[in-house]
Amino acid sequence: MTFCKHLILASSLLLTSAASMASQIFSSDQADFRLEIVAQGLEHPWSLAFLPDGSSLVTERAGRLRVIRDGQLLDSPVDGLPELVVSGQGGLLDVLLHPDFENNQTLFLSYAHRSREGMTTRVARARLNDGRLSDVEVIFEALPRSNTSRHFAGRMEFDRDGNLYVAVGDRGEMDRAQDNTDDAGGVHRITPAGAPAPGNPFQTASGANDTFFTIGNRNIQGMTAHPETGEIWSHEHGPRGGDEINIIRAGTNYGWPTITYGIDYSGLPITSETEKKGMAQPLHYWDPSIAPSGMAFYTGDLFPQWQGDLFVGALKMRKLVRLSIEGGKVTEEEDLLTDLGERIRDVRMGPDGALWLLTDSPRGKVYRMVPVQ
């Protein structure tokens, strides 16, 4: 009887906590908003994609692709995923729909994969039909492999020409990011079939992989297209300090680890240089590190005062950052959701005009940010 009372009390407290969160009002300099819990109980959710029928896909780093339909997280994950490995920071990572998904049902998944030669970042293309994947084909694999379980990156984005951008981290082996014969530590641009995109900047470089678009990137965890210019924006983790926002431009070397605004986790310097000829400066950087993850420009109508602002999730600092952008420069920075206490893994602009967030935990959630009525 005592056990039953305790169970009822615990359930009541959980319900009260959820109701309290649903009614909690958050404030920014420009708007008051609240969070709606769309789904919960996800194991380290990593990425979110919106389907044309109003449902959503969510990746769990543990190796599952889940469906949210009519406000409910379906019990059964999508069948037919490619073979992958869950290790350290690796697992099932990004999910991205083909620009013509409504007609071809094609999507792309990035994930960690292991063989006898070690682990790496892969991208697979597949078709989604009736809750399962078919015609699964690996279209990109970063080489060489290594035995570390860090810095897989894995964020993806399409440009207006239909080319796919794939971020690959330095795998925790920093010098690889300055070697254009090594796929680690850069952004690769490919066609939806996996071929090097026409006009890639390193196609004439001796020994370089002709899928390379940029080099010198440490570990990109956010990538999005600018709603007006179409340029691909990204952010990446620094070590202790030096998280960066960059505009991804052909042939650019973003400097890691030759230049950085961060220091090593040991507290020792990585380099004495923060700038060098031939290497790009970040558009914006954080010191100390916030561990950015996920990013989206706000383009909806629910918060007209946020139109054009850039939103970035933070893992380490457990917040959402709003950045005002004017003329390609950051003019204002505001921290949101600092009282939520959640690691923000992904940020997406929803087709409903709301911002959608994923929280990184063994019991992760999907939130919608909506105005206070």
pLDDT at residue 281 tops 70: yes
Quick one: what percent of the chain has pLDDT higher than 90? 90
Helix (H) or strand (E) holding 281: none
| Predicted pLDDT at 122 | 99
Instruction: State the chain's mean pLDDT as an integer.
Output: 93
Task: List the single range of 3-12, 53-62, 124-133, 193-202 with lowest mean pLDDT.
Answer: 3-12
pLDDT at residue 18 tops 70: no
Secondary structure of residue 119 in the 3-state scheme: strand
pLDDT at residue 256 tops 90: yes
pLDDT at residue 360 tops 70: yes
pLDDT at residue 14 tops 50: no
Model's pTM, two decimal places? 0.93
Sheet holding 310-314, edge to edge: 292-297, 310-314, 319-326, 329-336
Read off the pLDDT of each residue in 335-354 and give the average, rounded to a whole number. Answer: 97
Structure tokens at 330: 């950051």
Note the maximum CA span of the chain. Answer: 76
Contact of 343 with 318, CB cutoff 8 Å: yes
- Please give the Cα distance from 123 to 113 (Å, whole number): 10
- Smallest CA-to-CA distance from 155 within 49, 289, 300, 279 is with 49
User: How many secondary structure helices (H) and strands (E) does the chain include?
Assistant: 2, 25
Phi, psi of 103 (to 5 degrees): -100, -30
In this prediction, residue 205 has a pLDDT band, given cuts at 50, 70 and 90, of: confident
3-state helix, strand, coil in the chain (%, to 5): 10, 45, 45
Q: Check residue 182 and report its DSSP letter.
A: S
With the CA atoms of 301, 303, 305 and 309 taken in that order, what torsion angle do they form, in degrees rounded to the nearest 10? -90
In this prediction, residue 19 has a pLDDT band, given cuts at 50, 70 and 90, of: very low
Cα 303 versus chain centre, distance: 23
pLDDT at residue 151 tops 60: yes
| Predicted pLDDT at 114 | 98
With the CA atoms of 133, 135, 141 and 145 taken in that order, what torsion angle do they form, in degrees rounded to the nearest 10? 70
pLDDT at residue 323 tops 50: yes
pLDDT at residue 232 tops 60: yes
| Predicted pLDDT at 23 | 53
Phi, psi of 212 (to 5 degrees): -60, 135
- Smallest CA-to-CA distance from 316 within 356, 284, 289 is with 289
In this prediction, residue 3 has a pLDDT band, given cuts at 50, 70 and 90, of: very low
| Predicted pLDDT at 346 | 98
Residue with tokens 């990011």: 177
Read off the pLDDT of each residue in 161-186 and give the average, rounded to a whole number. Answer: 98
- Smallest CA-to-CA distance from 114 within 151, 141, 95, 137 is with 141
Sheet holding 118-129, edge to edge: 92-97, 106-115, 118-129, 132-141
Read off the pLDDT of each residue in 195-208 and give the average, rounded to a whole number. Answer: 90
pLDDT at residue 10 tops 90: no
| Predicted pLDDT at 204 | 80
Contact of 94 with 49, CB cutoff 8 Å: no
Catalytic residues: 151
- Complete domains list, the chain, with CATH: 24-371 (2.120.10.30)
Those residues whose C-beta lies under 8 Å from the C-beta of residue 73, and which sit 6 or more positions away, are: 39, 40, 41, 42, 58, 66, 67
Read off the pLDDT of each residue in 166-189 and give the average, rounded to a whole number. Answer: 98
Structure tokens at 301: 């109508």
Read off the pLDDT of each residue in 46-61 and give the average, rounded to a whole number. Answer: 98
- Please give the Cα distance from 178 to 258 (Å, whole number): 8
With the CA atoms of 262, 265, 271 and 273 taken in that order, what torsion angle do they form, in degrees rounded to the nearest 10? 10
In this prediction, residue 206 has a pLDDT band, given cuts at 50, 70 and 90, of: confident
Read off the pLDDT of each residue in 97-121 and give the average, rounded to a whole number. Answer: 98
In this prediction, residue 208 has a pLDDT band, given cuts at 50, 70 and 90, of: confident
SS (H, E, C) 27-65: ECCCCEEEEEEEEEEECCEEEEEECCCCCEEEEECCCEE
